[in-house]
Amino acid sequence: MSNHPSTTSRQSLPSLTGGAGGGSCERVLLFPGSFNPFTRGHANLVERALQLFDEVVIAVGINEEKADSHSVEARVASIQNIYKDNVRVRVESYTGLTADFACSIGAQAILRGVRTMKDFEYEMQMADVNRQLTGIDTVCLFAEPTLAAISSSLVRELAHFGKDVSEFLPIRDNKLFRDNK
């Protein structure tokens, strides 16, 4: 398993849908989250999603109720650094409802990672509401077994106590959390 994000160009991947007259429609997938921090588990989901969609938009949500250890701008910059060579990945921040943001960028689906049954039950409820509100489907990808124990909150806690968290973060990280000791 590689920790390095793919650098596949948009030109090397045939479009997944065809339009009238031989044209193509780009399939966009929204991957929302707080990504505080963006972990190897998140990176694995993006790599797998790129096999299914033409473009993945990683959206760092601004959640007023969460106390984030790093600014949204810093998290966006960190993830952009990871995918700087991949034209099929875009990183943005957003406020408001995820389903509304998905509509605003023309996403066909929302990506959610599932590690446990508890995750699945929560994501199923959110998927039902998002589909009812906007008609946008949710694509759930199950965590790779070797990555299922990794969570952003675990990484934050380990970093808070001065532990080396590099094994939980993508290789091309901008040291946002690696140097947090």
Q: What is the pLDDT of residues 15-44, one digit of tens each?
A: 444 433 444 579 999 999 999 999 999 999
Please identify which of the residues 75, 78, 112, 152 carries the catalytic annotation: 152
Is 48 among the residues known to form the active site? no
Please identify which of the residues 40, 42, 75, 88 carries the catalytic annotation: 42
Is 42 among the residues known to form the active site? yes
pLDDT of residue 177: 54
pLDDT of residue 64: 72
Is 115 among the residues known to form the active site? yes
Is 75 among the residues known to form the active site? no
Instruction: Please report where in the chains the tokens 């409802």 appear, as a residue.
Output: 97
For 9, other C-beta atoms within 10 Å of its C-beta total: 11
Please identify which of the residues 4, 10, 66, 163 carries the catalytic annotation: 66
For 44-68, give one letter per residue: b (16+ CB within 10 A) or e. bbbbebbeebbbbbbbbbeeeeeee
Residue spans of the chain under pLDDT 50: 1-23, 174, 178, 180-181
Give the domain 24-168 fold.
Rossmann fold (3.40.50)
- Count Cβ atoms within 10 A of the Cβ of residue 132 and give its class: 0-12 exposed, 13-18 middle, 19 or more buried: exposed
Please identify which of the residues 115, 131, 156, 172 carries the catalytic annotation: 115
Question: How is the beta sheet containing 109-114 ordered, strand by strand?
Answer: 89-94, 55-61, 28-33, 109-114, 137-142
pTM: 0.82
pLDDT of residue 174: 45
pLDDT of residue 41: 96
For 15, other C-beta atoms within 10 Å of its C-beta total: 13
For the chain, the structural domain boundaries read 24-168
